[in-house]
Amino acid sequence: MSKRTILPGATIGILGGGQLGRMTAIEAKQMGYRVLCLDPTPDSPCGQVCDGQIVAPLDDLEGALELARQSDVLVYEFENVDKKVVQALEQTYHLPQGSRVLGITQDRVQEKAEIVKAGFPVVPYRVLSRFDELEPALKELGYPAVLKTARGGYDGKGQLVIHSVDDLDAAESIMPQTNAWVLEKFVQLEAEISVIVARSQSGQLSSFPVGENKHRNNVLHTTVVPARIEPSVCNAAKAIAEGIASAFSVVGMLAVEFFVTPEGLMVNELAPRPHNSGHYTFGACYTSQFEQFVRAVCDLPLGPTDLLYPVVMVNILGESIPQLFESIGEISRDIKLHLYGKKGNPQPRRKMGHLLVKTQRPDEVISWVDGVLYQE
């Protein structure tokens, strides 16, 4: 990969038109870049704030080449872009994130193997290809365990918790869908935390304050910062995240999700891009993860990541949109509202936006927001 500084005025082409691209584009525009994106949905969340959008599927090489011809630097905003397209683009065009880290993070089997190879802790696991390998693996890991597809899973999709032999039938029915599975020991979670780290082409590293994450039905619900976790654990998590980013030669962003367990910190999974648990930075940090992403891929010096105020980020999913609009007067009081401009009916579990709440009392705020937005 050629190292190259991309100065404001140049054009950033984003593969993907979702909310991560949108917030990246907003920050890039503020810095004076032109921004284009590629997405199959016309007027996508990112397209709405860009200088232009190419409407084409993400695995369409022609569409991607059109984006590349009009851009000075290319980035991907989520990891389910087509690796073959990214490989083709990086031959000729400037795509500093590269296809290698993308390939690793698209596949849980590779991801875990590489993390272990780099010397960092993961949850005890086994790789399986067929149902008849499940019982021997369960004997070794014990119940409960969680079965995850190696590829394409997100927000808890493609996962099955196996509590006892009673769940084996369910596993037998899903396992023929693919031949690449990971079985993980179901660990006791004291907390879940994440670290977003940026690494520039020059190798400069910078991580954001640790976020403490809570999930609801397997979808990220809230991030509290500062995390209410021992400082030594936070420092260890940052050191691991930076260690992985260096070992993998990441350029751009790496989000590292961790389990805090009685046996210590374990890496859960990685994402090679800005991350939902880093949305709090867009408002509550001196530099947001989106600006940092732009700086990293354009090889500008990375910005300071100091937290400006204690904060809770609350995701707004499709099912909470009616309540949000009903109570918007009350909600807008001390709160920053971000909506991603997604069209159509707000489907349950679909990420529509988020709130940032400045607070010294995160639990009180979360119960209040839950009462307003997510009353059952």
Would you tell me which residues interact with ligand ADP (CB under 6 A)? 123, 146, 148, 153-156, 184, 186-187, 189, 192, 215, 218, 257, 268-269
C-alpha–C-alpha distance, residues 355 and 314, integer Å:
5
Residue 158 or 362 with smaller CB distance to ligand ADP = 158
Considering the complex, state which of residue 258 and residue 340 has its C-beta at the smaller distance from ligand ADP. 258
Supply the minimum distance, in Å, between the C-beta of residue 66 and ligand ADP: 31
Q: Min. distance of Cβ 227 from ligand ADP in angstroms?
A: 15
Tell the smallest beta-carbon distance from residue 185 to ligand ADP (Å).
6
In DSSP terms, which residues pair with 185 in a beta bridge? 145
Question: CA of 198: how far to CAs of 113, 132, 147, 211, in Å?
Answer: 22, 42, 31, 15
- Specify whether the CB–CB gap between 24 and 90 falls below 8 A: no
Q: Which is nearer to ligand ADP, 74 or 123 (CB)?
A: 123
For the chain, the maximum distance between any two Cα atoms, rounded to a whole number of angstroms, is 60
Contact 225, 284 (CB under 8 A): yes
Q: Min. distance of Cβ 59 from ligand ADP in angstroms?
A: 21
* Residue nearest to ligand ADP as judged by C-beta position: 184
Cα–Cα distance for residue pair 372/11, rounded to 1 Å: 41
* Nearest to ligand ADP of 73, 270 (CB atom): 270
- Closest separation between CB of residue 148 and ligand ADP, Å? 6
CA gyration radius for the chain? 20
Residue (123 or 314) nearer to ligand ADP, CB: 123
Q: Which helix (H) or strand (E) holds 38?
A: strand 34-39
CB closer to ligand ADP out of 161 and 247: 161
3-class DSSP assignment, residue 85: helix
β-sheet with 145-149: strand ranges across: 125-128, 181-185, 145-149, 159-162
Q: How far is the CB of 171 from ligand ADP (least distance, A)?
A: 15
CB of 213 to ligand ADP, least distance (A): 7
The four Cα atoms 47, 53, 55, 56 give a dihedral, to 10 degrees, of -100
Smaller CB separation from ligand ADP, 186 or 368:
186
| Least gap, CB of 78 to ligand ADP (angstroms) | 12
**Rounded Cα gap, residues 19 and 41, in angstroms:** 13
Instruction: Report the residue number, 123 or 297, with the smaller CB distance to ligand ADP.
Output: 123
Quick one: DSSP state of residue 25? H
Query: CB of 301 within 8 A of CB of 316?
Result: no
